[in-house]
Amino acid sequence: MLFTIFCIDKPNMREKRATAMPDHIEYLNAQTKIKNIMSGPLMDDEMENIVGSLYLLEAPNRTAIEEFTKGDPLVAADIWTSIEIRAFNKRVDNRD
């Protein structure tokens, strides 16, 4: 089952995010219950500032996604003002 996680940063999180990033990347790479299809930072229109994060994940169920989210070092660092988890029904995939 596919899920998206859409997160918006609190204001002025650049330094806090940078500090948490090595642990966050290690956490993503260590996952065995979920598959990270695609993820990365959401950017402002000038592509200069990170404003949040977006994940497209495959997992057996929502509980696995919630557990993954709770364990993320960016959650522990209190980076995000909002976190939205949604099931995703892929209809088109134009990746080569």
Q: Which residues, listed in sequence order, are joined to residue 58 by a DSSP beta bridge?
A: 2, 35
Answering whether pTM is above 0.85, one says yes
- Among 68, 71, 18, which Cα is nearest to 41's? 18
φ, ψ for residue 30, nearest 5 deg: -90, -5
User: Does residue 58 register a pLDDT over 90?
Assistant: yes
pLDDT in tens, 5-42: 999 999 999 999 999 999 999 999 999 999 999 999 99
Q: What is the second-level CATH architecture of the domain 2-88?
A: 2-Layer Sandwich (3.30)
User: Does residue 62 register a pLDDT over 80?
Assistant: yes
* Among the ranges given (22-26, 34-38, 85-89, 92-96), the one the predictor scored with the smallest mean pLDDT: 92-96
In contact, 65 and 57? CB cutoff 8 Å: yes
* Among the ranges given (21-25, 36-40, 67-71, 91-95), the one the predictor scored with the smallest mean pLDDT: 91-95
What secondary structure does DSSP assign to 9-57, as a single string? EPTT-HHHHHHHHHHHHHHHHT-SSSEEEEEEEEE-TTS-SEEEEEEEE
User: Does residue 94 register a pLDDT over 90?
Assistant: no
